[in-house]
Amino acid sequence: MNRLKDKVAIITGGGAGIGQATAFLFAEEGANVVIGDIDQSGGEATAAGINAAGGKAIFVYADISKESDAQKLTDEAVRFFGRVDILVNNAAAFVLKGLEATVEDWQRSLGVNVIGTALVSRFASEAMKKTGGGSIVNLGSMSSFIAQPHFVSYSATKAAIIQMTKNMAMDLAPFGIRVNAVCPGTIITQASEKHCAQAGITMDEFKATEGAKHLLNRPGVPREVACPILFLASDEASFITGTHLMVDGGYTAQ
């Protein structure tokens, strides 16, 4: 299928994990993809993989907590592909701390997850208005809704994403721009591997422990989040805005 044929999509944090899986899937569905990330090697590899497979993608180095970098993503999308139709706000800083979080920890978490999301959305939505509309998909989390030990600095930002999604949907609806959120449960990514190394546990142990917390008794994989993102970004979701979709294996149903 070509559900995104000739659409132009910006994906932040597209160099690895859910962002990378989404970039590949969007390209398979016909989109021209702009990958933004601070991980230059990962971002360039993702773009190269898409282009090698016959798709069209560019990588733009961007720290979205900086206004100039946030704007650069839209500027480059328009320069290379002429427009912006879709934005996936996937980039995130994983600052997993409780009240011991320092001011610097909070600034990093808020700077990327909240302010960065707002900045990229501002510039991308201005481009969307010029072409009659578009779709924004924000990445929330099950952490937007539940309490977890030593997660204050992360969960607060993911809760903010849900409210931002609703407000953005209201403000942008008159311009034909839909805004929704996807909220993943535990997903096996490169970040999971780093966590295992820091915690001194094997990946099998991590999967068993985390999987047991989900009704489906396993963690998810990035493609299982990319597919719901694709749905919300596509015209198949043309009457959906201002809502969130749980992609958490039943974690929050308990």
For residues 15 and 47, the answer to whether their CB atoms sit within 8 Å is no
Describe the chain by its helix, strand, coil percentages, rounded to 5: 50, 15, 30
Q: Give phi and psi for 158, each to the nearest 5.
A: -75, -30
Per DSSP, 115 falls in state I
* Rounded Cα distance, 54 and 127, in Å: 26
Catalytic residue among 26, 123, 154, 206: 154
* Rounded Cα distance, 111 and 119, in Å: 10
Instruction: Locate 90 and state its tokens.
Output: 């996937």
- Our answer to whether residue 154 is catalytic in this structure is yes
* DSSP state letters, 181-205: EEEE-SB-SHHHHHHHHHHT--HHH
Q: Which of 25, 36, 23, 22 is nearest to 1 (CA)?
A: 25
Instruction: Locate 106 and state its tokens.
Output: 């909070």
Q: What pairing do the DSSP bridges indicate for beta strands 86-89 and 56-61?
A: unpaired
Cα 96–chain centre separation:
18
Q: Which residues are catalytic?
A: 154
